[in-house]
């Protein structure tokens, strides 16, 4: 029969085991062992009714007090262990917000795209619209409809890339091909620009490349004159290049009459100044207007084609056109 001493021993061992448990799982084992249905203490409590009446009070009280103490100790130890397990988890999972982040490189527009967008903005502010045209073009739109007859030197295969196996298909040599497409699709008055790549079998040197970029402009309205053209070009050159000096000289293009060329003063990195051709322009030849079905007695127009790559070179002192197409990030990064 259990005595008060036995119960005191059970209690002491249970409290010691509780204190010694280091994990929640271990503590649960302690709980089952000392207070579970098959524990010694549960047996004692169940058998109290069978004790002689004079012992019941003492043993019963001692056993109940022991159970309460053990349960209280278990509960307290449980919350301690829960707290320390949570703390351990938090320490293990901690994110060090002071660690340097993974660098994420930021992209930027290519210098040519920046220059193109800037020029587009200047023209949009003047009321121009932007038009598009194909780079693989027909001789018709690139030459014939632009008053450039068969046999003209610009049509020869030494200047123009002909697309193999097709007749009359070329890589456009100028964005002027868009002029005719726009006139065919629309009626005047119209004020349109069209930027894009063009292709020529140019010798490759520091200022030439077989692919480069132009921005075409075309205005058709009543009463347009050379003064409107020059005024427009001066405005655009001023916006783009600031106080750069420029010169307008006569030129020839089959599809404009008269034709002019705009040169700007360009100072290279060594401080040497030279004149660089920035654009060709002129009054739209009446033949071209008629080709597009316009009444050339009523409408007049001007057109211009500027070299986008050259503008980027002049603006940023880029010494070699080819750098714009090589994709070397050490170069491009400087303009991002
Ligand atoms: N297309 C001409 C060239 O490539 C430039 C130009 C455009 C000239 C429009 C007159 C009018 O040189």
| pLDDT digit string (tens) for the chain, length 336 residues | 678 788 889 999 999 999 999 999 999 999 999 999 999 988 888 888 888 888 888 888 888 999 999 999 999 999 999 999 899 888 888 888 888 888 888 889 999 999 999 999 999 999 999 999 999 999 999 999 999 988 887 787 778 899 987 788 999 999 999 999 999 999 999 999 999 999 998 777 777 889 999 999 999 999 999 999 999 998 998 888 876 788 999 999 999 999 999 998 877 667 787 788 889 999 999 999 998 899 999 999 999 999 999 889 888 888 888 999 999 999 999 998
Residue 217 Cβ contacting ligand 1 at under 6 Å:
no
Question: Taking CA 246 as the corner, what is the angle to CA 240 and CA 247, rounded to the nearest 5 degrees?
Answer: 140
What is the C-alpha to C-alpha distance for residues 72 and 331, in angstroms, rounded to an integer?
A: 75
- Inter-residue contact 250 to 259 (CB < 8 Å): yes
Residue 305 Cβ contacting ligand 1 at under 6 Å:
yes
Q: How far is CA 9 from the centre of its chain?
A: 76
Residue located nearest, by CA, to atom 7 of ligand 1: 305
SS3 217: strand
What is the C-alpha to C-alpha distance for residues 29 and 26, in angstroms, rounded to an integer?
A: 5
Residue 177 Cβ contacting ligand 1 at under 6 Å:
no
CA of 318 to the centre of ligand 1 (A): 23
Domain positions in the chain = 4-92, 111-335
What is the C-alpha to C-alpha distance for residues 238 and 233, in angstroms, rounded to an integer?
A: 8
Q: Which atom of ligand 1 is nearest to the CA of 176?
A: 1
Residue located nearest, by CA, to atom 10 of ligand 1: 281
Residue 160 Cβ contacting ligand 1 at under 6 Å:
no
Residue 196 Cβ contacting ligand 1 at under 6 Å:
no
CATH class of 111-335: alpha beta
Residue 260 Cβ contacting ligand 1 at under 6 Å:
no
CA of 320 to the centre of ligand 1 (A): 22
């Amino acid at each position: 029969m259990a005595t008060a001493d036995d119960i005191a021993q059970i209690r002491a061992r249970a409290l010691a085991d509780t204190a010694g448990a280091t994990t929640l799982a271990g503590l649960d084992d302690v709980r089952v062992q000392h207070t579970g249905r098959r524990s010694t203490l549960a047996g004692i409590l169940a058998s109290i009714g069978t004790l002689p009446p004079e012992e019941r009070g003492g043993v019963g009280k001692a056993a109940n007090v022991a159970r309460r103490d053990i349960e209280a100790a278990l509960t307290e130890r449980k919350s301690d262990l829960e707290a320390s397990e949570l703390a351990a988890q938090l320490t293990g999972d901690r994110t060090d917000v002071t660690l340097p982040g993974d660098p994420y490189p930021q992209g930027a527009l290519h210098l040519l795209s920046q220059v193109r967008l800037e020029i587009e903005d200047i023209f949009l502010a003047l009321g121009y619209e932007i038009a598009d045209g194909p780079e693989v073009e027909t001789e018709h739109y690139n030459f014939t409809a632009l008053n450039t007859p068969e046999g003209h030197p610009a049509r020869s295969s030494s200047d123009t890339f002909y697309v193999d196996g097709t007749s009359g298909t070329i890589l456009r040599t100028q964005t002027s091909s868009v002029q005719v497409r726009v006139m065919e699709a629309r009626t005047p008055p119209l004020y349109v620009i069209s930027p894009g790549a063009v292709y020529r079998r140019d010798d490759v040197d520091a200022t030439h490349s077989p692919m480069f970029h132009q921005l075409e402009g075309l205005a058709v309205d009543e009463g347009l004159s050379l003064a409107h053209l020059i005024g427009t070009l001066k405005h655009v050159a001023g916006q783009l290049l600031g106080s750069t000096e420029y010169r307008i000289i006569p030129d020839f293009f089959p599809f404009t009459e008269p034709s002019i060329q705009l040169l700007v003063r360009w100072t290279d990195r060594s401080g040497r100044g030279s004149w660089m051709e920035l654009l060709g322009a002129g009054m739209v030849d009446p033949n071209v207007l008629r080709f597009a079905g316009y009444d050339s007695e009523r409408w007049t127009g001007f057109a211009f084609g500027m070299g986008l790559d050259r503008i980027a070179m002049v603006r940023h002192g880029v010494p070699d056109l080819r750098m714009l197409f090589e994709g070397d990030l050490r170069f491009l990064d400087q303009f991002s």
